[in-house]
Structure 1
Amino acid sequence: MRKIIKIAFIASVVSAACTVTAQENAETNDNHATSSFVKRQVAQNMSIGRAVKSIASNYPQETSSVVSTALDMYPDKYQEIIHAAISAQPMLTEDIVKIALEKEIASCTAIVKTAINAEPSYVDFVVTAAANSTPEELNEIVRVAVITEPDSADFIVQSLAQQHPNKIVDILGSAIGAVPLVGEYVVEALLAVFPNDAESVVSTAVRESGAQRDNVKRIIETAQNFGLDEKNIYKYAKEGGATDEEITAALREVSEQ
Protein backbone atom coordinates (compact mmCIF):
# COMPACT_ATOMS: atom_id res chain seq x y z
CA MET A 1 0.00 0.00 0.00
CA ARG A 2 2.82 2.41 0.93
CA LYS A 3 4.50 1.72 -2.41
CA ILE A 4 1.28 2.50 -4.27
CA ILE A 5 0.82 5.77 -2.34
CA LYS A 6 4.43 6.71 -3.01
CA ILE A 7 4.06 6.02 -6.73
CA ALA A 8 0.83 8.04 -6.82
CA PHE A 9 2.53 10.95 -5.04
CA ILE A 10 5.48 10.93 -7.45
CA ALA A 11 3.09 10.78 -10.39
CA SER A 12 1.15 13.80 -9.10
CA VAL A 13 4.36 15.79 -8.62
CA VAL A 14 5.55 14.93 -12.12
CA SER A 15 2.14 15.82 -13.53
CA ALA A 16 2.15 19.18 -11.76
CA ALA A 17 5.66 19.91 -12.98
CA CYS A 18 4.65 19.05 -16.53
CA THR A 19 1.62 21.33 -16.26
CA VAL A 20 3.76 24.25 -15.05
CA THR A 21 6.29 23.62 -17.81
CA ALA A 22 3.51 23.47 -20.39
CA GLN A 23 2.09 26.76 -19.12
CA GLU A 24 5.50 28.41 -19.20
CA ASN A 25 6.08 27.14 -22.72
CA ALA A 26 2.66 28.40 -23.77
CA GLU A 27 3.42 31.83 -22.28
CA THR A 28 6.80 31.89 -24.04
CA ASN A 29 5.16 30.94 -27.31
CA ASP A 30 2.50 33.63 -26.81
CA ASN A 31 5.21 36.21 -26.15
CA HIS A 32 7.11 35.16 -29.26
CA ALA A 33 3.92 35.26 -31.31
CA THR A 34 3.03 38.73 -30.01
CA SER A 35 6.57 39.95 -30.63
CA SER A 36 6.51 38.63 -34.19
CA PHE A 37 3.09 40.16 -34.78
CA VAL A 38 4.27 43.56 -33.55
CA LYS A 39 7.37 43.36 -35.75
CA ARG A 40 5.27 42.56 -38.81
CA GLN A 41 2.94 45.46 -38.08
CA VAL A 42 5.86 47.82 -37.61
CA ALA A 43 7.29 46.72 -40.95
CA GLN A 44 3.95 47.45 -42.61
CA ASN A 45 3.03 50.65 -40.80
CA MET A 46 6.48 52.21 -40.47
CA SER A 47 6.05 53.31 -36.83
CA ILE A 48 5.47 51.47 -33.55
CA GLY A 49 2.72 53.91 -32.62
CA ARG A 50 0.68 53.17 -35.72
CA ALA A 51 1.31 49.45 -35.24
CA VAL A 52 0.09 49.46 -31.63
CA LYS A 53 -2.96 51.55 -32.51
CA SER A 54 -3.84 49.22 -35.38
CA ILE A 55 -3.54 46.09 -33.24
CA ALA A 56 -5.39 47.60 -30.27
CA SER A 57 -8.19 48.83 -32.52
CA ASN A 58 -8.68 45.48 -34.25
CA TYR A 59 -7.85 43.16 -31.36
CA PRO A 60 -8.82 45.01 -28.13
CA GLN A 61 -8.42 41.86 -26.06
CA GLU A 62 -4.73 41.82 -26.97
CA THR A 63 -4.06 45.45 -26.03
CA SER A 64 -2.35 44.78 -22.71
CA SER A 65 -0.02 42.08 -24.05
CA VAL A 66 0.80 44.15 -27.13
CA VAL A 67 1.62 47.23 -25.02
CA SER A 68 3.80 45.14 -22.73
CA THR A 69 5.66 43.60 -25.68
CA ALA A 70 6.02 46.89 -27.53
CA LEU A 71 7.47 48.61 -24.45
CA ASP A 72 9.99 45.77 -24.08
CA MET A 73 10.97 46.04 -27.73
CA TYR A 74 10.97 49.83 -28.08
CA PRO A 75 11.36 51.39 -24.59
CA ASP A 76 12.60 54.67 -26.05
CA LYS A 77 9.27 54.98 -27.91
CA TYR A 78 7.19 54.71 -24.75
CA GLN A 79 5.35 58.00 -25.35
CA GLU A 80 4.28 56.92 -28.79
CA ILE A 81 3.22 53.48 -27.57
CA ILE A 82 1.23 54.73 -24.57
CA HIS A 83 -0.46 57.48 -26.56
CA ALA A 84 -1.41 55.09 -29.37
CA ALA A 85 -2.77 52.39 -27.05
CA ILE A 86 -4.86 54.79 -24.95
CA SER A 87 -6.17 56.58 -28.03
CA ALA A 88 -7.33 53.24 -29.43
CA GLN A 89 -8.69 51.81 -26.17
CA PRO A 90 -9.33 54.59 -23.63
CA MET A 91 -11.25 52.19 -21.38
CA LEU A 92 -7.96 50.38 -20.77
CA THR A 93 -6.14 53.55 -19.70
CA GLU A 94 -5.59 52.35 -16.14
CA ASP A 95 -4.15 48.99 -17.26
CA ILE A 96 -1.87 50.64 -19.80
CA VAL A 97 -0.51 53.07 -17.20
CA LYS A 98 0.13 50.23 -14.75
CA ILE A 99 2.02 48.24 -17.37
CA ALA A 100 4.18 51.23 -18.29
CA LEU A 101 4.97 51.93 -14.64
CA GLU A 102 5.88 48.31 -13.98
CA LYS A 103 8.32 48.40 -16.92
CA GLU A 104 10.07 51.45 -15.40
CA ILE A 105 10.83 52.73 -18.89
CA ALA A 106 10.44 56.36 -17.78
CA SER A 107 9.69 58.41 -14.68
CA CYS A 108 6.25 58.12 -13.16
CA THR A 109 5.45 61.76 -13.92
CA ALA A 110 6.51 61.39 -17.57
CA ILE A 111 4.16 58.42 -17.96
CA VAL A 112 1.33 60.30 -16.21
CA LYS A 113 1.74 63.32 -18.48
CA THR A 114 1.82 61.15 -21.61
CA ALA A 115 -1.31 59.22 -20.59
CA ILE A 116 -3.28 62.36 -19.72
CA ASN A 117 -2.39 64.00 -23.01
CA ALA A 118 -3.57 60.88 -24.82
CA GLU A 119 -7.01 60.93 -23.19
CA PRO A 120 -7.72 63.87 -20.82
CA SER A 121 -11.20 62.62 -19.94
CA TYR A 122 -9.66 59.60 -18.20
CA VAL A 123 -7.33 61.66 -16.03
CA ASP A 124 -8.79 60.25 -12.80
CA PHE A 125 -7.93 56.69 -13.92
CA VAL A 126 -4.40 57.80 -14.78
CA VAL A 127 -3.66 59.46 -11.45
CA THR A 128 -5.20 56.74 -9.31
CA ALA A 129 -3.27 54.04 -11.16
CA ALA A 130 -0.04 56.01 -10.81
CA ALA A 131 -0.59 56.83 -7.15
CA ASN A 132 -1.41 53.22 -6.29
CA SER A 133 1.69 51.98 -8.11
CA THR A 134 4.06 54.66 -6.77
CA PRO A 135 2.49 56.18 -3.64
CA GLU A 136 5.81 57.76 -2.67
CA GLU A 137 5.43 60.08 -5.68
CA LEU A 138 1.90 61.20 -4.85
CA ASN A 139 2.71 64.92 -4.61
CA GLU A 140 4.54 64.93 -7.94
CA ILE A 141 1.70 63.01 -9.57
CA VAL A 142 -0.78 65.65 -8.38
CA ARG A 143 1.44 68.50 -9.52
CA VAL A 144 2.03 67.14 -13.03
CA ALA A 145 -1.59 66.08 -13.48
CA VAL A 146 -3.00 69.47 -12.49
CA ILE A 147 -0.50 71.34 -14.67
CA THR A 148 -1.25 69.04 -17.62
CA GLU A 149 -5.04 69.17 -17.23
CA PRO A 150 -5.99 72.13 -14.97
CA ASP A 151 -9.64 72.00 -16.05
CA SER A 152 -9.91 68.61 -14.33
CA ALA A 153 -8.18 69.64 -11.11
CA ASP A 154 -11.31 68.99 -9.05
CA PHE A 155 -11.63 65.42 -10.39
CA ILE A 156 -7.91 64.80 -9.90
CA VAL A 157 -7.92 65.95 -6.29
CA GLN A 158 -11.20 64.28 -5.44
CA SER A 159 -10.19 60.92 -6.93
CA LEU A 160 -6.81 60.86 -5.21
CA ALA A 161 -8.21 62.03 -1.87
CA GLN A 162 -10.76 59.23 -1.91
CA GLN A 163 -7.98 56.72 -2.57
CA HIS A 164 -5.63 58.29 0.00
CA PRO A 165 -7.83 60.07 2.60
CA ASN A 166 -4.94 60.48 5.02
CA LYS A 167 -3.11 62.57 2.42
CA ILE A 168 -5.78 65.22 1.82
CA VAL A 169 -3.59 68.09 2.99
CA ASP A 170 -0.66 67.01 0.81
CA ILE A 171 -2.89 66.50 -2.25
CA LEU A 172 -4.62 69.84 -1.82
CA GLY A 173 -1.36 71.68 -1.19
CA SER A 174 0.30 70.17 -4.26
CA ALA A 175 -2.65 71.02 -6.51
CA ILE A 176 -2.90 74.65 -5.46
CA GLY A 177 0.86 75.03 -5.40
CA ALA A 178 0.99 73.86 -9.03
CA VAL A 179 -1.92 75.96 -10.32
CA PRO A 180 -3.17 78.51 -7.74
CA LEU A 181 -6.29 79.40 -9.73
CA VAL A 182 -7.81 75.93 -9.12
CA GLY A 183 -8.08 76.56 -5.37
CA GLU A 184 -11.79 77.29 -5.16
CA TYR A 185 -12.70 74.33 -7.38
CA VAL A 186 -10.64 71.76 -5.49
CA VAL A 187 -11.94 73.08 -2.17
CA GLU A 188 -15.51 72.64 -3.35
CA ALA A 189 -14.72 69.13 -4.62
CA LEU A 190 -13.13 68.07 -1.34
CA LEU A 191 -15.82 69.58 0.87
CA ALA A 192 -18.42 67.61 -1.08
CA VAL A 193 -16.67 64.32 -0.22
CA PHE A 194 -15.02 65.17 3.12
CA PRO A 195 -17.32 67.63 4.95
CA ASN A 196 -15.86 66.51 8.28
CA ASP A 197 -12.42 67.67 7.14
CA ALA A 198 -13.58 71.21 6.40
CA GLU A 199 -11.06 72.75 8.80
CA SER A 200 -7.98 71.19 7.20
CA VAL A 201 -9.36 71.75 3.68
CA VAL A 202 -10.14 75.45 4.11
CA SER A 203 -7.10 76.34 6.21
CA THR A 204 -4.72 74.50 3.85
CA ALA A 205 -6.28 76.08 0.76
CA VAL A 206 -6.02 79.56 2.24
CA ARG A 207 -2.43 78.98 3.32
CA GLU A 208 -1.35 77.65 -0.07
CA SER A 209 -3.05 80.58 -1.81
CA GLY A 210 -1.33 83.15 0.37
CA ALA A 211 0.56 84.76 -2.51
CA GLN A 212 -2.69 85.38 -4.42
CA ARG A 213 -5.06 87.29 -2.17
CA ASP A 214 -7.91 87.20 -4.70
CA ASN A 215 -7.77 83.41 -4.57
CA VAL A 216 -7.96 83.51 -0.77
CA LYS A 217 -11.14 85.56 -1.05
CA ARG A 218 -12.70 83.12 -3.50
CA ILE A 219 -11.87 80.15 -1.26
CA ILE A 220 -13.62 81.81 1.68
CA GLU A 221 -16.61 82.54 -0.54
CA THR A 222 -16.64 78.91 -1.71
CA ALA A 223 -16.67 77.69 1.88
CA GLN A 224 -19.61 79.95 2.69
CA ASN A 225 -21.53 78.98 -0.44
CA PHE A 226 -21.01 75.36 0.53
CA GLY A 227 -22.88 76.06 3.76
CA LEU A 228 -20.16 76.18 6.39
CA ASP A 229 -20.92 78.19 9.49
CA GLU A 230 -19.46 81.71 9.34
CA LYS A 231 -17.86 81.31 12.76
CA ASN A 232 -16.01 78.21 11.59
CA ILE A 233 -15.05 79.79 8.28
CA TYR A 234 -13.54 82.70 10.18
CA LYS A 235 -11.57 80.30 12.39
CA TYR A 236 -10.34 78.10 9.51
CA ALA A 237 -9.37 81.05 7.31
CA LYS A 238 -7.47 82.67 10.18
CA GLU A 239 -5.57 79.43 10.71
CA GLY A 240 -4.58 79.61 7.06
CA GLY A 241 -3.26 83.15 7.39
CA ALA A 242 -6.17 85.25 6.13
CA THR A 243 -6.62 88.68 7.74
CA ASP A 244 -9.72 89.81 9.60
CA GLU A 245 -10.44 92.32 6.84
CA GLU A 246 -10.21 89.70 4.07
CA ILE A 247 -12.51 87.28 5.86
CA THR A 248 -15.09 89.92 6.77
CA ALA A 249 -15.12 91.34 3.25
CA ALA A 250 -15.51 87.93 1.62
CA LEU A 251 -18.32 86.87 3.95
CA ARG A 252 -20.12 90.19 3.49
CA GLU A 253 -19.90 89.97 -0.30
CA VAL A 254 -21.49 86.51 -0.36
CA SER A 255 -24.26 87.63 2.01
CA GLU A 256 -25.07 90.59 -0.24
CA GLN A 257 -25.34 88.50 -3.40
Structure 2
Amino acid sequence: MSEKMKKIIKIAIIASLVSSAYSVRAQEDELSNDSHVTTSFVKRQVAQNMSIGRAVKSIVSNYPQEASAVVSTALDMYPDKYQEIIHAAISAQPMLTEDIVKIALEKNIASCANIVKTAINAEPSYVDFVVTAAANSTPEELNEIVRVAVITEPDSADFIVQSLAQQHPNKIVDILSSAIEAVPLVGEYVVETLLAIFPNDAESVVSTAVRESASERANVKRIIETAQNFGLDEESIYKYAKEGGATDEEITAALSEATEQR
Protein backbone atom coordinates (compact mmCIF):
# COMPACT_ATOMS: atom_id res chain seq x y z
CA MET A 1 0.00 0.00 0.00
CA SER A 2 1.33 3.37 -1.04
CA GLU A 3 2.07 6.12 1.47
CA LYS A 4 -0.61 8.25 -0.17
CA MET A 5 -3.23 5.56 0.35
CA LYS A 6 -2.19 5.11 3.98
CA LYS A 7 -2.64 8.84 4.57
CA ILE A 8 -6.09 8.79 2.98
CA ILE A 9 -7.18 5.88 5.19
CA LYS A 10 -5.75 7.60 8.26
CA ILE A 11 -7.58 10.81 7.46
CA ALA A 12 -10.82 8.87 6.90
CA ILE A 13 -10.50 7.14 10.27
CA ILE A 14 -9.83 10.42 12.07
CA ALA A 15 -12.78 12.05 10.33
CA SER A 16 -15.01 9.16 11.36
CA LEU A 17 -13.90 9.43 14.99
CA VAL A 18 -14.43 13.18 15.01
CA SER A 19 -17.89 12.74 13.50
CA SER A 20 -18.81 10.16 16.14
CA ALA A 21 -17.55 12.44 18.89
CA TYR A 22 -19.64 15.32 17.58
CA SER A 23 -22.68 13.02 17.37
CA VAL A 24 -22.28 11.89 20.97
CA ARG A 25 -21.71 15.48 22.06
CA ALA A 26 -24.85 16.58 20.26
CA GLN A 27 -26.90 13.92 22.03
CA GLU A 28 -25.47 14.93 25.39
CA ASP A 29 -26.26 18.59 24.70
CA GLU A 30 -29.82 17.72 23.79
CA LEU A 31 -30.26 15.61 26.89
CA SER A 32 -28.59 18.09 29.21
CA ASN A 33 -30.54 21.20 28.34
CA ASP A 34 -31.47 22.14 31.91
CA SER A 35 -32.05 18.43 32.58
CA HIS A 36 -34.84 18.39 30.01
CA VAL A 37 -35.15 15.47 27.64
CA THR A 38 -36.80 16.57 24.44
CA THR A 39 -39.69 14.64 23.03
CA SER A 40 -37.98 14.52 19.66
CA PHE A 41 -34.92 12.82 21.13
CA VAL A 42 -37.02 10.10 22.78
CA LYS A 43 -38.97 9.63 19.57
CA ARG A 44 -35.76 9.16 17.61
CA GLN A 45 -34.58 6.58 20.10
CA VAL A 46 -37.88 4.75 19.83
CA ALA A 47 -37.54 4.71 16.05
CA GLN A 48 -34.02 3.31 16.32
CA ASN A 49 -34.74 0.74 19.03
CA MET A 50 -38.19 -0.36 17.83
CA SER A 51 -39.84 -0.14 21.28
CA ILE A 52 -40.19 2.43 24.03
CA GLY A 53 -38.84 -0.05 26.56
CA ARG A 54 -35.60 -0.59 24.69
CA ALA A 55 -35.30 3.14 24.06
CA VAL A 56 -35.74 4.03 27.73
CA LYS A 57 -33.32 1.34 28.83
CA SER A 58 -30.71 2.56 26.36
CA ILE A 59 -30.99 6.22 27.37
CA VAL A 60 -31.15 5.57 31.11
CA SER A 61 -28.17 3.19 30.93
CA ASN A 62 -26.05 5.78 29.15
CA TYR A 63 -27.36 8.89 30.88
CA PRO A 64 -28.40 7.88 34.42
CA GLN A 65 -28.40 11.52 35.51
CA GLU A 66 -31.29 12.09 33.11
CA ALA A 67 -33.33 9.05 34.19
CA SER A 68 -36.09 11.06 35.88
CA ALA A 69 -36.57 13.28 32.86
CA VAL A 70 -36.47 10.32 30.49
CA VAL A 71 -39.11 8.40 32.45
CA SER A 72 -41.31 11.46 32.83
CA THR A 73 -41.18 12.25 29.12
CA ALA A 74 -41.70 8.64 28.06
CA LEU A 75 -44.74 8.25 30.33
CA ASP A 76 -46.25 11.44 28.93
CA MET A 77 -45.74 10.23 25.39
CA TYR A 78 -46.72 6.57 25.87
CA PRO A 79 -48.90 6.28 29.02
CA ASP A 80 -50.35 2.96 27.83
CA LYS A 81 -46.81 1.53 27.85
CA TYR A 82 -46.18 2.43 31.50
CA GLN A 83 -45.33 -1.13 32.51
CA GLU A 84 -42.69 -1.43 29.80
CA ILE A 85 -41.25 1.99 30.64
CA ILE A 86 -41.09 1.41 34.41
CA HIS A 87 -39.61 -2.06 34.01
CA ALA A 88 -36.97 -0.85 31.54
CA ALA A 89 -35.92 2.14 33.63
CA ILE A 90 -35.62 0.20 36.88
CA SER A 91 -33.79 -2.66 35.18
CA ALA A 92 -31.29 -0.17 33.80
CA GLN A 93 -30.80 1.78 37.04
CA PRO A 94 -32.13 -0.12 40.11
CA MET A 95 -30.75 2.53 42.47
CA LEU A 96 -33.27 4.98 41.03
CA THR A 97 -36.25 2.72 41.76
CA GLU A 98 -37.75 5.06 44.36
CA ASP A 99 -37.62 8.09 42.04
CA ILE A 100 -39.08 6.16 39.13
CA VAL A 101 -42.00 4.91 41.23
CA LYS A 102 -42.74 8.42 42.49
CA ILE A 103 -42.79 9.81 38.94
CA ALA A 104 -45.12 7.07 37.73
CA LEU A 105 -47.52 7.66 40.62
CA GLU A 106 -47.52 11.41 40.07
CA LYS A 107 -48.52 10.85 36.45
CA ASN A 108 -51.64 8.98 37.62
CA ILE A 109 -51.42 6.74 34.56
CA ALA A 110 -52.41 3.54 36.37
CA SER A 111 -53.52 2.30 39.76
CA CYS A 112 -51.03 2.42 42.59
CA ALA A 113 -51.28 -1.36 42.89
CA ASN A 114 -50.29 -1.94 39.26
CA ILE A 115 -47.35 0.45 39.47
CA VAL A 116 -46.11 -1.18 42.67
CA LYS A 117 -46.40 -4.67 41.18
CA THR A 118 -44.59 -3.62 37.99
CA ALA A 119 -41.75 -1.99 39.93
CA ILE A 120 -41.27 -4.97 42.25
CA ASN A 121 -41.21 -7.42 39.35
CA ALA A 122 -38.57 -5.26 37.66
CA GLU A 123 -36.22 -5.44 40.67
CA PRO A 124 -37.47 -7.57 43.61
CA SER A 125 -34.43 -6.76 45.75
CA TYR A 126 -35.55 -3.12 45.91
CA VAL A 127 -39.04 -3.91 47.15
CA ASP A 128 -38.56 -1.79 50.28
CA PHE A 129 -37.79 1.26 48.14
CA VAL A 130 -40.88 0.59 46.03
CA VAL A 131 -43.31 0.34 48.94
CA THR A 132 -41.78 3.29 50.77
CA ALA A 133 -42.06 5.54 47.72
CA ALA A 134 -45.60 4.37 47.02
CA ALA A 135 -46.77 4.83 50.60
CA ASN A 136 -45.26 8.29 50.85
CA SER A 137 -46.81 9.37 47.56
CA THR A 138 -50.22 7.80 48.15
CA PRO A 139 -50.66 7.19 51.92
CA GLU A 140 -54.37 6.58 51.42
CA GLU A 141 -53.40 3.43 49.48
CA LEU A 142 -51.25 1.98 52.27
CA ASN A 143 -53.27 -1.19 52.84
CA GLU A 144 -53.41 -1.96 49.13
CA ILE A 145 -49.67 -1.31 48.78
CA VAL A 146 -48.95 -3.82 51.54
CA ARG A 147 -51.30 -6.38 50.05
CA VAL A 148 -49.89 -6.19 46.53
CA ALA A 149 -46.27 -6.08 47.68
CA VAL A 150 -46.58 -9.12 49.94
CA ILE A 151 -48.43 -11.12 47.29
CA THR A 152 -45.88 -10.16 44.63
CA GLU A 153 -42.82 -10.83 46.80
CA PRO A 154 -43.88 -12.95 49.82
CA ASP A 155 -40.29 -13.89 50.67
CA SER A 156 -39.64 -10.22 51.45
CA ALA A 157 -42.71 -9.74 53.64
CA ASP A 158 -40.60 -8.91 56.70
CA PHE A 159 -38.69 -6.20 54.79
CA ILE A 160 -41.92 -4.79 53.39
CA VAL A 161 -43.56 -4.59 56.80
CA GLN A 162 -40.40 -3.26 58.44
CA SER A 163 -39.93 -0.45 55.91
CA LEU A 164 -43.55 0.66 56.04
CA ALA A 165 -43.89 0.38 59.81
CA GLN A 166 -40.82 2.53 60.35
CA GLN A 167 -42.19 5.15 57.97
CA HIS A 168 -45.72 4.96 59.39
CA PRO A 169 -45.45 3.79 63.01
CA ASN A 170 -49.02 4.85 63.77
CA LYS A 171 -50.25 2.38 61.14
CA ILE A 172 -48.62 -0.77 62.51
CA VAL A 173 -51.90 -2.59 63.02
CA ASP A 174 -53.12 -1.78 59.51
CA ILE A 175 -49.82 -2.83 57.94
CA LEU A 176 -49.69 -6.09 59.88
CA SER A 177 -53.33 -6.90 59.19
CA SER A 178 -52.96 -6.29 55.46
CA ALA A 179 -49.80 -8.41 55.22
CA ILE A 180 -51.24 -11.43 57.01
CA GLU A 181 -54.59 -11.16 55.27
CA ALA A 182 -52.81 -11.23 51.91
CA VAL A 183 -50.44 -14.11 52.73
CA PRO A 184 -51.25 -15.81 56.08
CA LEU A 185 -47.99 -17.76 56.15
CA VAL A 186 -45.91 -14.60 56.62
CA GLY A 187 -47.44 -13.96 60.06
CA GLU A 188 -44.67 -15.34 62.21
CA TYR A 189 -41.95 -13.52 60.25
CA VAL A 190 -43.58 -10.11 60.30
CA VAL A 191 -44.42 -10.52 63.99
CA GLU A 192 -40.79 -11.23 64.79
CA THR A 193 -39.73 -8.18 62.77
CA LEU A 194 -42.24 -5.85 64.41
CA LEU A 195 -41.48 -7.05 67.93
CA ALA A 196 -37.82 -6.28 67.33
CA ILE A 197 -38.56 -2.76 66.10
CA PHE A 198 -41.51 -1.91 68.34
CA PRO A 199 -41.20 -3.92 71.57
CA ASN A 200 -43.51 -1.49 73.34
CA ASP A 201 -46.28 -2.41 70.89
CA ALA A 202 -46.10 -6.12 71.62
CA GLU A 203 -49.74 -6.30 72.70
CA SER A 204 -51.16 -4.87 69.47
CA VAL A 205 -48.69 -6.82 67.33
CA VAL A 206 -49.40 -10.23 68.87
CA SER A 207 -53.16 -9.79 69.28
CA THR A 208 -53.55 -8.44 65.74
CA ALA A 209 -51.45 -11.24 64.23
CA VAL A 210 -53.41 -13.91 66.08
CA ARG A 211 -56.73 -12.39 65.08
CA GLU A 212 -55.78 -12.07 61.40
CA SER A 213 -54.57 -15.69 61.39
CA ALA A 214 -57.83 -17.06 62.75
CA SER A 215 -58.54 -19.06 59.60
CA GLU A 216 -55.15 -20.79 59.83
CA ARG A 217 -54.85 -22.24 63.32
CA ALA A 218 -51.37 -23.63 62.64
CA ASN A 219 -50.22 -20.07 62.00
CA VAL A 220 -51.70 -18.94 65.31
CA LYS A 221 -49.54 -21.52 67.05
CA ARG A 222 -46.41 -20.33 65.27
CA ILE A 223 -47.13 -16.71 66.14
CA ILE A 224 -47.45 -17.58 69.83
CA GLU A 225 -44.19 -19.53 69.64
CA THR A 226 -42.53 -16.55 67.95
CA ALA A 227 -43.68 -14.26 70.75
CA GLN A 228 -42.23 -16.60 73.37
CA ASN A 229 -38.95 -17.05 71.49
CA PHE A 230 -38.69 -13.28 71.30
CA GLY A 231 -38.71 -13.15 75.09
CA LEU A 232 -42.23 -12.13 76.04
CA ASP A 233 -43.32 -13.61 79.36
CA GLU A 234 -46.04 -16.26 79.36
CA GLU A 235 -48.54 -14.10 81.23
CA SER A 236 -48.34 -11.39 78.57
CA ILE A 237 -48.52 -13.92 75.76
CA TYR A 238 -51.66 -15.44 77.26
CA LYS A 239 -53.25 -12.03 77.54
CA TYR A 240 -52.34 -10.85 74.03
CA ALA A 241 -53.20 -14.15 72.32
CA LYS A 242 -56.56 -14.33 74.09
CA GLU A 243 -57.34 -10.81 72.90
CA GLY A 244 -56.70 -12.05 69.39
CA GLY A 245 -59.11 -14.97 69.81
CA ALA A 246 -56.78 -17.86 70.65
CA THR A 247 -58.11 -20.54 72.96
CA ASP A 248 -56.51 -21.56 76.25
CA GLU A 249 -55.70 -24.95 74.75
CA GLU A 250 -53.94 -23.42 71.74
CA ILE A 251 -51.89 -21.07 73.86
CA THR A 252 -50.87 -23.75 76.36
CA ALA A 253 -49.91 -26.20 73.60
CA ALA A 254 -47.87 -23.60 71.70
CA LEU A 255 -46.00 -22.44 74.79
CA SER A 256 -45.26 -26.01 75.88
CA GLU A 257 -43.91 -26.97 72.48
CA ALA A 258 -41.79 -23.84 72.25
CA THR A 259 -40.33 -24.58 75.69
CA GLU A 260 -39.51 -28.17 74.73
CA GLN A 261 -37.71 -27.05 71.60
CA ARG A 262 -35.35 -24.76 73.49
Q: Same fold (TM over 0.5)?
A: yes
TM-score, normalisation: structure 1: 0.88
Matched, 1:204 2:208: yes
Q: Any gaps of 5 or more consecutive residues in structure 2?
A: 1-29
Which position in structure 1 is the counterpart of 2:259?
A: 255
- Identity rate, percent: 90
Report the TM-score when normalising by structure 2: 0.86
**Is contact 2:94-2:123 (8 Å) kept?**
yes
Distance 2:207 2:50 in 1: 54
Match in the other structure for 1:168: 172
Structure 2 residue aligned with 1:21: none
Q: Secondary structure of 1:242's partner? A: coil
Partner of 2:64: 60
Contact 1:169/1:204 (8 A) holds in 2 = yes
How many aligned positions are there? Answer: 231
Report the counterpart of residue 146 of structure 1 in structure 2: 150
Residue pairs, 1:1-257, within 5 angstroms: 33-257=37-261
Runs of 4 or more off by more than 2 Å in structure 1? 29-34
User: CA 1:161 to 1:241, structure 2 compared with 1: closer, same or farther past 3 Å?
Assistant: same
Say if 1:230 and 1:140 are closer, same or farther in 2 by CA, change over 3 A.
same
Q: CA distance change for structure 1 residues 42 and 30 in 2, over 3 Å: closer, same or farther?
A: farther
> How far apart are 1:32 and its partner, in Å?
7.2
In structure 2, how many angstroms separate the alpha carbons of the residues matched to 1:124 and 1:246? 34
Q: Secondary structure at the match of 2:38?
A: helix
**1:60 and 1:89 in contact (8 A); partners too:** yes
Q: Distance in 1 between matches of 2:75 and 2:222?
A: 45
Deviation readout 1:38-74 (Å, 9 max, x if unpaired):
1111000000000000001111101110000000000
CA offsets, 1:86-139, max 9 Å, x none? 000000000000000000000111100000000000000000100011101100
Distance 2:35 2:84 in 1: 21
1:189 & 1:218 partners in 2: Cα distance? 14
Listed as ranges, the gaps of 5+ residues in structure 1 are 1-25
- Whole-angstrom CA distance in 2 between matches of 1:251 and 1:236: 13
Q: Distance in 2 between matches of 1:234 and 1:159?
A: 29
SS in 2 for 1:228: coil
1:120/1:239 CA distance change after superposition, 3 Å? same
Mapped contact 1:31–1:69 kept (Cα < 8 A): no
Deviation at 1:34?
A: 2.4
